[in-house]
Each structure stands twice: as structure tokens, then as C-alpha cells.
Structure 1
Amino acid sequence: MEDEFADRSFEDENYNESDAHGQRWERRSYTSCSFIDADLGGLTTHGVVFTDCDFSGVDLTDSTHIGSAFRNCEFRRSRLWHSTFRSTSFLGSAIADSRITPAVFDEVDLMLTSLGGLDLRGLDLTGARLRDANLVGTDLRKATLRGVDFGGARTSGLRLNDADLRGSIADATFWTSAVLEGARIDTVQALAYVHAHGLTVAD
């Protein structure tokens, strides 16, 4: 079904408490729009760009997003679980007090995104970009984080118990600020951990 609003731009619109359940949106853009408490469950977006939008209280359960972007958007008390995000960006967005898992994240850009304090246990973020993200107090226990870029991320109190970190990229502070008990790491990361703690490997 074609999207009659494809290639259209919307700005400063109020969609609070609106119902777009099950709709399909393509090649649209929304700037400074409000979707507070809207029902977007089952929504499919393809190439849709949201900039500076407010998704507080929104229901995005069972939604699918391909090649879309949520830039500098706010998600508070939002429901994103059972949704799929492929080649999607959350650049600079803030997500708090929200339900996310279980969900599918495939080639997702979370650079500069605030995920502090969220429960993301068991989430598969393979290959995701988390550069300069806020991960303070975030729970990523048993998560799959292979090849993730953590460069510059704030990771104080980040819980990575039993997570798979092989191939991920991180600064020295990552290895001293996150909780890593039981995490799976590779040889290169093991050496980085040793050096971050001021240890020396000797024969």
C-alpha cells in the first residue's frame, strides 16, 4: 500500500494521543513534532526522519523501522519492545524510563544517545555505534555486544556481567568503570584491560 504522505515534511505539528496503529509511513520527515502518548503500535517506517520530536509515553510496540532516523528525539515512559530497528539512527536522542527489550537492533547508530539506567539485559547490539553515548548505570547483562564501538561512552556503573564483548572497541576508562564479571572478551581486549589497571604482562 502506497503512503499518500510520502516525500512530505511536517514541522511543529501536534500528534499527541493520535492513533496511527498499523500504518505504513515512507520517505516522510517530522521536525519539532509532538507524539506524546500516541498509539504507534505496529507502525512501519521506511526512510522516515524524525528530528527534535517528543515521543514521551508513546506506544511503539511491534513497530518496524528500516532506514529511518530519530535524531535528538526524546523517549520517556515509552514502549519500544517487540519492535525492529534496521539501519536506523537514534543520534543524540534521550531514552529514559522506557521498555525496550525484547527488540531487534540491526546496524543501529546510537552515537550520543542517552541510555542511562535502562534495562537492556540480553539485547543483541552487534556492530552498533555507541560512541559518546550515556551508559551510566545501564544494565546490559548477558547482552551480545560484538564489534560495538564504545569510544568516548560514559560507562560508570554499566553492568556487563556475562555479556559478549569480543571485537568491541573501548577507551581505557571503559575497562575500569564498567562491571565486567563473567564477560567474554578477546586477547586484544584482555591486554587493554590489563594496561587500564596499571598491570604489566611479563614473561
Structure 2
Amino acid sequence: MTDVSTKNRLHRMRGSVYAPLVMTFAASLIYAAAGTGTAADVPAPDTQSQQTPAAGPGLAVGRLVSDDDRCQRLERYADLNHCNMRGMDLTGVDLYGADLTGADLTSANLYGARLRKANLSYTNLGYTDLTIADLSRANLTNAGLDHAVASSVNLTRANLTGAHLPGAALAYANLTGANLNHLNLREIDLSNADLSGADLTGADLTSACLREARLKGSNLYYTNLGYAILTRADLSSADLTNSGLDYAGLTSANLDHANLTGANLNHASLYYANLTGANLTSANLTNAWLTDATWTNGHICGQGSWGECREVEGLSKI
């Protein structure tokens, strides 16, 4: 009996000593095979963050935080960088000067929110409702605004360098003095928007809707506006040097004292447009429709004015 009991105790002792060693050795083999080192190198599970989903070219890929206490502090100058705020209802929230760098606000409701001077660089605002929100002087560098609903949004002097806006709706938006240079704004809705003094240098506005938009004094140097709708738009004193306006709809547009040096107006519709004092040096007016347009000297272009203004004697701008 004594020998049997002794053997059993020894057997249990060996098991208690070797079992952890065997498990540790097995785990080491598994992690080593996976190229992650040994079991001692295995990182603790991250229960508070998740990887940022792909949200379009140019957007930062970092760690999104959901449960961090700071992500719950929705106040002025809040530190909300890389917070996961997808689908949140932030109607009317006041985030003046807040840091939202790299945050994910996809499909969030920011109707009437106050984000003046906020840092939204690399922030994902795709499908977000920004109707009547205040983003004046906000930093939206490389932000994703794909399909955002931003009717009547205030983007006065906002920096949108490198931002992505495909499918965004910006009708009646205030973009006075905003930086939109070299952006892809093809087919975007900017009808009735105020872009006075905005920088649109080299931007692509092909087939964009700018009906009744205000672009007074804006910089449209080398901007592509081919096939764009600019009916009754105000382009007075705008710099359209070397811009592309081929097939553009400029019916009743105001181009008073606009600089159209070297602009391409091939097949553009300038019916009833105001070109008083405009600079058309080296502009291409091939097949442009100028009937009833007010020419640079204040005279009205007569019927059949295609590619050139056929003045009607005795008529002048009233």
C-alpha cells in the first residue's frame, strides 16, 4: 500500500510540474510558427479599440477608440482624435475648436452642429448630415466627405485641401474664401452656393451644377468647368485665366470684368450673358453661342452670333 500511494503521489507531482511546461512549450511553437515570437511576446487583447475601416484614398488609417472616456466628452476644444463616432446623433452639438483628427463620423447626424475652427483633418464624414452646420475656418485637409449631405453648411474660409467630395450635396453652402484648389469636384451640386473669393485653382468641376452660384472674385485659374451648369451664376471679377469652359452652360451668367484670358469657351452657351469689361484675350470662342449676350463694350450681340459677337446697331446695355 505504501509503495502504491508513494507512486501515485509522485505521478501527481510530475503532472503538476510538467503540465505548465508542456503548455508553454506548445504555445511557443504555435506563435513561433506564426512569426510572432514566443508566448511571452503575445500582446494583451485590446478591448477598447479597433482598426479604422478603409474610407477612401488619402484618409488616415489609425486606431479608432470607442470606449475611451475622452470620446464621451462632447464639448468645446474636446480631444476626440481617432474616436469612433459612426452613426452618432450629434444634432446641434458644440465642438468649437475640437480635435477630431482621424475620427470616424460616417453616417453621423451633425445637423446644425457647431464645428467652427475644429480640426477635421483625415476625418471620415462620408454620408454624414451636415445640413446648416457651422464649419467655418475648420481644417478639413484630406477629410472624406463622400456623399455627405451639406445643404446650407457654413464652410467660410475652411481648408479643404485634399478633401474627397464625390457625391456630396453642397447646395446653398457658404464657401466664401474657402480653399478648394485642385479638388475633384466633378458632378458636384453647388447650386446657389456662395463661393465668393474662394480658391478653386486647378479644381475639376466637370459637369458640376453651379446654377445661380456666387463666384464673385473667386480664383478659377486653370479650373476645368467643361459641361458645367452656370446658369445665372455670378462670376464678376473672377479669374478664369486658362480655364476650361467648353460646352459650359453660361446662360444669363454675370461675367462682368471677369478675366477670361486664354479660356476655352468652345461650344459654350453665353446666351444673355453679361461680358461687360471682361478680358477675352486669346480666349477660344469657337462655336460659342453669344446671341443676346452683352459684349465687352456694352453692346448687345445680335441674332446668329456664333463664335463672335455680331453687334446690333443702336442697342446698348441699359
After TM superposition, list the pairs within 5 Å mapping 1:4-83 onto structure 2: 5-83=85-163
1:73, distance to aligned residue in structure 2 (A): 1.4
Q: TM-score, normalised by structure 2?
A: 0.58
Asked if the contact 2:163/2:183 (under 8 Å) is kept, the reply is: yes
Number of matched pairs: 202
Give the structure 2 partner of residue 94 of structure 1: 174
Matched, 1:127 2:207: yes
Alignment-derived partner of residue 199 in structure 1: 301
Alpha-carbon shift at residue 94 of structure 1 (Å): 0.8
Q: Which structure: larger Rg?
A: 2
Q: Conserved in 1, the CA contact under 8 Å of 2:114 and 2:135?
A: yes
Of 161, 169, 182 in structure 1, the residue corresponding to residue 241 of structure 2 is: 161
Structure 2: how far apart are the matches of 1:45 and 1:105? 16
Q: CA RMSD in A?
A: 2.2
Question: Is the partner of 1:74 in helix, strand or coil?
Answer: coil
Are the equivalent residues in 2 in contact too, given 1:88–1:107 (CA < 8 A)?
Answer: no
Aligned partners of 1:74 and 1:94 also within 8 Å: yes
Structure 2 unaligned runs (5+)? 1-51, 54-65, 67-83, 270-286, 306-318
State the distance in 2 between where 1:50 and 1:118 align: 20
User: Contact 2:85–2:103 (CA<8 Å) still a contact in 1?
Assistant: no
Point out the structure with the larger helix share: 2
- The reply to whether residue 118 of structure 1 matches residue 198 of structure 2 is yes
1: CA distance, partners of 2:181 / 2:219: 11
Closer/same/farther in 2, CA of residues 143 and 41 from structure 1, 3 Å limit: same
- C-alpha change, 1:91 and 1:187, in structure 2 (3 Å) is closer
TM superposition shift of 1:191:
4.0
Q: Confirm or deny that 1:182 pairs with 2:262.
A: yes
Counterpart of 1:108? Answer: 188
Structure 1 stretch displaced more, 141-150 or 172-181: 172-181
Higher relative contact order (CA 8 A, sep 6+): 1
The one-character-per-residue Cα deviations of 1:143-192 (angstroms, maximum 9, x if unpaired) are 11111100121121122121111121112444655332211122454442
Report the CA distance between 1:86 and its aligned residue: 0.3
Q: Per the alignment, do residues 141 and 53 of structure 1 end up closer, same or farther by CA in structure 2, a change over 3 Å counting? A: same
More strand, by proportion = 1
Structure 1 alignment gaps of length 5 or more: none
Cα contact 1:46–1:65 (8 A) shared by 2: yes
SS of aligned partner of 1:51 = coil
